[in-house]
Structure 1
Amino acid sequence: MLQDTRFSQADRRTPLGPTPVPMGAPIDAEKMHALMVGNVLGLDPPQHTKIRRAAVGRFSVRSVRRQRPAIAEFVERRLDEILAAESTADLFEDFAVPISVFAHCRMLGIPNSKVEEFATIFATEELKFGDMLQFAAEVLDFKGTDLGEDTVSDLLRSELSGPEQLGIATVLMGSGRDAIAYMIGTIMVSLLSDPGQLELLRREPERIPASVEEFVRFHAMFVSTHPRTVTEDVTLEGIDFHKGEPVWVSTVAANRDGTRFPEPDTFDVTREASGHLAFGHGVHACIGQQLARVVIAEAITQLLRRLPTLRLVEATQQVPMAFAGDLPTYSPGTVRVTWEQHGGKELVGDNENS
């Protein structure tokens, strides 16, 4: 379904029916047009191809790896601040969210003066399309006189029209930031609840980049992809789909497919987990998946190295939770942790950077 053109993402009808969408700032006809022509989450080729091509340059494997030193430096600095404050923290709000915001802003080119505003406007629980569009328009105006080596600057240099630039910029700002933060917090809940796997990664941190595939296979934030609409009668695997019907594809179910992943409900950092669908598949696969891999690996690596006595105090997600909103999306909840302080500093073993 994810690669079959008979399942359209443009003519989108959610199986839940219409859901109210908070607007915030007013959306005039021009901004509404921008969402229509630039929102890759609601387009099919060839318009989707045109928009995505203009946005993907900074998100290639090679480009993202060049960002690793800056990301690593920020993670280290954030841990310094947490360790200097007290011996407890919420790994989601205090650690994962700031890291994800930093990486997102750096990749997109959001100016430092607007980072705090970005973090507020694009928090998942409070998304308002009017505010998002207005913020994106302001960033595009700002960057228009100060082009740099970032995604927004690439959009401004591209052949996209003004509305197309605004539409895709808004979508990029609103996509992926909280998913990365969710992953970091939720992965640590699993590791801190499984001493064997935790110690394995502490002893062999070189495993962590490869383990990211198992991290995201097991901990996908989105229960399904965005809904598709059937454009003509289709039969797949003996199931009839009729023109006009809405369809949700459960990537979580695919990631727990026992014919593809033995013992799929077991979290195993040694598993060869490539081929999962945590980042989607086909033309609508996540643009920022390489960035997610780098940020998650760096965050987990530094946490395990610098806090050897880290332990879980409480995690909201350890008991059943409602979905985070109208769409089937998981919330990380609170991830409260603590550690032992030694002479005002966390014991860090033989780490020369301690």
Structure 2
Amino acid sequence: MSTAPNIEGTGCPYHAAVMPTDGTPFRPSPQFAAWRAEAPATHLTADDGNVGWFVTGYDLARAVLEDAARFSQADQRHPVGHHAFSGHLPDNDLVDAFMAGNVLGLDPPQHTRVRRTVVGRFSVRSVRGQLPAVRAFVERRLDEIVAAGSSADLFWDFGVPVSVFAHCRVLGIPEHRSGEFTDIFAAEDLRPEEMIAFAREVLELKRDDLGEDTISDILRSDLTDAESLGITSVLMGSGRDAIAYMIPTTMVSLLTDPGQLAALRRDPALIRPAVEEFVRFHAMFVSAHPRTVAEDVTLQGIEFRAGESVWVSTVAANRDGDRFADPDTFDVTRDAFGHIAFGHGIHGCIGQQLARVVIAEAITQLLDRLPSLRLVEAAQSAPLPFAGPLPTYSPGRVHVEW
């Protein structure tokens, strides 16, 4: 349980709240709505004792995310646990490389320099060109699942393999290294030193075998070796898990809501706009990547002071009733555009267009191929521990039968 929030910009931080852990992707902690009813941001005490601002209001969330000048993504302090890379990078060159190319922790102009190297492969046009390959892989994977029996775990048996295939294809990870990629980047116990070492090996492997993919673009660019290693490591470790999470999580909602399931089966063309509701309603990030206030600023009555941490909750903001009517209802016919499940501003998710295409294709084929699909059990129906120091919902196992 959390303490009562202190919502005054100059209030005593000793009355700050703590992160609630009683939420699920389907029913986020009611504490978020209670805080938002009082103010769009609340003082929150992190696990390390740091007191910052937890943003729950939609308008304030967008304002913070789009203001990269006054809300820096450098010097991040997480609200729970410890930094993902603490104690895992023994070599200074690994630390320097990761920081030089880590677009998740850079401000302009370095952020701009690194990000522009990779965005082309994630444009709407480029990603749509990947659809035939994604479609073929999903078909093959479902053939394998059906041939193996009449039950499956939609996360490990389907969501993870589909996300790995799409990720490896767009990045340019050789097919014969995809198994190793899965072992390292889809592991429950992530080891950053192994992630960066793998990225370094793939970069070396690709130098003499450039293709039409993201890693080849990085190698053709004017990025330094450190920047190239950093951005490659970040891209390998980011986004895939969100796709793997969203596919089974969305299916839990559909399989427990016959009306919504029937609507999609009745009108398959609805799937494209419905993806926006999938990601709005099931937003993964209880708190997005931390910001640090660069200079004193007041927004919507909240007095942000230089040096304070700011944690924007995409989960809470996407459930703001001032922006989305009846926000706690899952409605595949809703106009959910404008959600911030993929972030917002210059740090918005690079791979969001890929995620839309892959999620839509995976859900479409599941509904088409397995008309008798039913949910047996979903671990995430009850609160689970956060997936990491960046507080995100865990997908858990999703047991289905047909």
Structure 2 matches for 1:54-203, cutoff 5 A? 54-123=117-186, 125-203=188-266
Asked if 1 retains the 8 angstrom alpha-carbon contact of 2:284 and 2:392, the reply is yes
The answer to whether 1:218 aligns with 2:294 is no
**How big is the shift at 1:125?**
2.6
Contact 1:12-1:228 within 8 A present in 2 as well: yes
SS in 1 for 2:372: coil
**Deviation at residue 12 of structure 1 after TM alignment:** 1.8
Q: Distance in 2 between matches of 1:285 and 1:20?
A: 20
Q: Percent identity?
A: 69
1:322 CA drift (Å): 2.3
Distance in 2 of aligned mates of 1:109 and 1:169: 11
Q: Which residue, out of 73, 80, 88, partners 1:9?
A: 73
Structure 1 letter corresponding to 2:70: R
Q: 1:311 is matched with which residue? A: 374
| Corresponding residue number in structure 2 for 1:250 | 313
Sort the Cα spacing of 1:99 and 1:17 in 2 relative to 1 into closer, same or farther, 3 A.
Answer: closer
Separation of aligned partners in 2, 1:200 and 1:181: 23
Q: For residue 155 of structure 1, what is the amino acid of its counterpart?
A: I
Separation in structure 2 between the aligned mates of residue 31 and residue 69 of structure 1, nearest angstrom: 37
Aligned length: 338
Superposition deviation, residue 207 in structure 1: 0.5
Gaps of 5+ in 2: 1-63
In the alignment, is the contact (CA less than 8 A) between 2:288 and 2:390 conserved in 1? Answer: no
Give 3-state SS (helix, strand or coil) of 1:248's partner: strand
Cα pair 1:229 1:244 within 8 Å, conserved: yes
Closer, same or farther in 2 for the Cα pair 1:124/1:239, shift >3 Å?
A: farther
Indicate yes or no: 2:98 matched with 1:35.
yes
Q: 1:267-293 CA deviation, whole Å, 9 max, x = no partner?
A: 000000000000000000000000000
Aligned to 1:196, the other structure's residue is in SS state helix
- Shift in Å, 1:232: 1.1
The separation in 2 between residues aligned to 1:18 and 1:183, in whole angstroms, is 25
8 Å contact kept, 1:23–1:131: no
Partner of 1:350: none
Asked whether the 8 Å contact 2:275–2:359 carries over to 1, the reply is: yes
Contact 1:234 1:241 survives alignment (8 Å): yes
Any unmatched runs of 5+ in structure 1?
340-354
Give, in whole Å, the separation in 1 of the partners of 2:124 and 2:392.
27
Q: Say if 1:41 and 1:130 are closer, same or farther in 2 by CA, change over 3 A.
A: same
SS of 1:222's equivalent?
coil
Q: Deviations over 1:99-128 (max 9, x none)?
A: 000000000000112101100111253221
What amino acid does structure 2 have at the position aligned with 1:102?
A: F
Moved more, 140-149 or 121-130: 121-130
Residue 356 of structure 2 aligns with which residue? 293
CA distance in 2, matches of 1:192, 1:118: 31
Partner-residue secondary structure (3-state), 1:126: coil
In 2: Cα distance, 1:17 partner to 1:333 partner = 19
Q: Is the 8 A contact 2:170 2:213 kept in 1?
A: yes
Match in the other structure for 2:268: 205
Following TM superposition, the consecutive aligned residue runs of length 4 or more in structure 1 with deviations greater than 3 angstroms are 15-24
CA contact (8 A) 2:318 2:327 kept: yes
